């Protein structure tokens, strides 16, 4: 049994299926299946109940998961402790909501790389809940998310305030002209959905018509073409407005405020690379 086996086992236990675990780990599905079977053969006990609805843990699997969580957390702490040197070096795995990645984190990482060239970083984007889970499972060292949050396994640091705005195609002057159009969001569970539902209800619109779009660019293109409207942070759409591709409409005070923060595991040790990033991040906000 090695750490790789435990990480795969943990992912399958959390996701409830081989396919979802393979997607989360960016592994080939057949590889995940083989590793789970090998682990079960090694331990000589079934770890999962298998059905058409997915995979659930057997009592032996539940016991192993408790130890796997502890072992992988200790390995993460060992990695962090070993990388506490000065100057910062090593690997830094980061995540971010897409709007923060494009308007804030990517430019800051360019500055970070100049200051700490020995650090190798990677960056993925996703929704707040998904990124939180990846940090908890130590797949990421940290992530920029919409906050605030209170979680026993995560430290949360506020980074900056953002303004949520309504965007529509060019030429729209009045907000009430577009409120019954489809709302284009990254995903059905997008963080902005609660804001949208509360705002529309206040404006006398009873139902929210959500259309799922995959990326910031596709949302901007869809709004520009008149396929719907969206709620997005001002910093992520201001360049599109300057190019004449969209119109930005300000929301009333109760609905316009967004908070963006950084989460990382509640570890006893922070690597030098992660500590340097947090220090840089808390000293600057997004370009306005």
Same domain, 246 and 175: yes
Cβ atoms of 127 and 145 closer than 8 Å? no
Contacts for 195 with CB less than 8 Å, ≥ 6 apart? 164, 231, 255
Same domain, 151 and 263: yes
DSSP count for the chain of H helices, then E strands? 12, 11
SS3 of 104-173: the string is HHHHHHHHHHHHCCCEEEEEEECCHHHHHHHHHCCCCCEEEEEECCCCCCEEEEEEEEEEEEEEECCCCC
* pLDDT at residue number 284: 62
Give the pTM. 0.69
Same domain, 125 and 187: no
Whether 176 maps to a domain, the answer reads: yes
Whether 288 maps to a domain, the answer reads: no
198: domain CATH number is 3.40.190.10
Same domain, 191 and 230: yes
Whether 31 maps to a domain, the answer reads: yes
* pLDDT at residue number 288: 44
Whether 117 maps to a domain, the answer reads: yes
Whether 209 maps to a domain, the answer reads: yes
Same domain, 71 and 210: no
Contacts for 34 with CB less than 8 Å, ≥ 6 apart? none
Same domain, 264 and 143: yes
Separation between Cα atoms, residue 253 and residue 260, nearest integer Å: 17
Separation between Cα atoms, residue 82 and residue 218, nearest integer Å: 42
Same domain, 252 and 271: no
* pLDDT at residue number 25: 85
The pLDDT averaged over each successive group of 10 residues in the chain (288 residues) is 87 90 87 92 92 89 88 75 69 90 88 91 89 88 91 91 92 84 77 79 82 87 93 91 94 87 83 87 62
Whether 286 maps to a domain, the answer reads: no
Same domain, 168 and 251: yes
* pLDDT at residue number 46: 93
Same domain, 178 and 69: no
Same domain, 48 and 76: yes
10: domain CATH number is 1.10.10.10
Q: Kindly tell me the burial class for residue 234, based on how many C-beta atoms sit within 10 Å of its own C-beta (0-12, 13-18, 19 or more).
A: buried
Q: What total number of domains does the chain contain?
A: 3
Same domain, 263 and 157: yes
Question: With the CA atoms of 187, 278, 257 and 182 taken in that order, what torsion angle do they form, in degrees rounded to the nearest 10?
Answer: -10
Peptide bond into 287 cis (omega under 30): no
pLDDT tens digits, one per residue of 162-220: 999 999 999 888 888 888 888 898 865 667 777 788 888 888 887 778 888 878 899 99
* pLDDT at residue number 84: 58
Separation between Cα atoms, residue 169 and residue 261, nearest integer Å: 30
Closest by Cα among 165, 12, 140, 18 to 79: 140
Burial string for 45-66 (b: 16+ CB within 10 Å, else e) reads eebbeeeeeebebeeebeebbe
**Of 32, 61, 82, at which residue does a domain stop?**
82
Judged by DSSP in three states, 165 sits in strand
Whether 287 maps to a domain, the answer reads: no
Contacts for 228 with CB less than 8 Å, ≥ 6 apart? 181, 182, 183, 184, 211, 222
Whether 125 maps to a domain, the answer reads: yes
Same domain, 264 and 234: no
Q: Which domain holds residue 156?
A: 90-161+259-281
């Amino acid at each position: 049994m090695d750490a790789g086996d435990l990480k795969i086992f943990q992912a399958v236990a959390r996701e409830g299926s081989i396919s979802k675990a393979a997607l989360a780990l960016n592994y080939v599905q057949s590889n995940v299946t083989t590793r789970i079977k090998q682990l079960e053969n090694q331990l000589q006990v079934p770890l999962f109940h298998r059905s058409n609805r997915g995979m659930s843990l057997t009592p032996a699997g539940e016991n192993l998961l408790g130890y796997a969580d502890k072992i992988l957390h200790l390995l993460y702490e060992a990695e962090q402790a070993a990388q506490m040197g000065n100057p910062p070096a090593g690997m830094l795995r980061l995540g971010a909501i897409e709007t923060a990645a494009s308007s804030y984190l990517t430019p800051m990482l360019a500055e970070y790389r100049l200051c700490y060239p020995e650090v190798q970083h990677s960056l993925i984007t996703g929704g707040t809940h998904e990124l939180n889970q990846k940090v908890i499972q130590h797949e990421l060292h940290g992530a920029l998310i919409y906050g605030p949050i209170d979680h026993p396994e995560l430290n949360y640091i506020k980074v900056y305030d953002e303004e949520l705005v309504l965007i529509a195609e060019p030429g729209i002057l009045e907000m009430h002209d577009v409120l019954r159009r489809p709302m284009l969001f990254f995903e059905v569970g997008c963080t902005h959905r609660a804001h949208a539902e509360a705002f529309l209800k206040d404006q006398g619109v009873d139902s929210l018509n959500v259309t799922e779009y995959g990326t910031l660019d596709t949302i901007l293109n869809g709004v520009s073409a008149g396929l719907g409207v969206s709620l997005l942070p001002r910093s992520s759409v201001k360049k599109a407005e300057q190019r004449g591709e969209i119109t930005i409409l300000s929301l009333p005070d109760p609905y316009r405020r967004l908070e963006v923060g950084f989460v990382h595991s509640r570890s006893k040790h922070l690597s030098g690379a992660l500590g340097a990033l947090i220090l840089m991040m808390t000293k600057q906000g997004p370009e306005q």
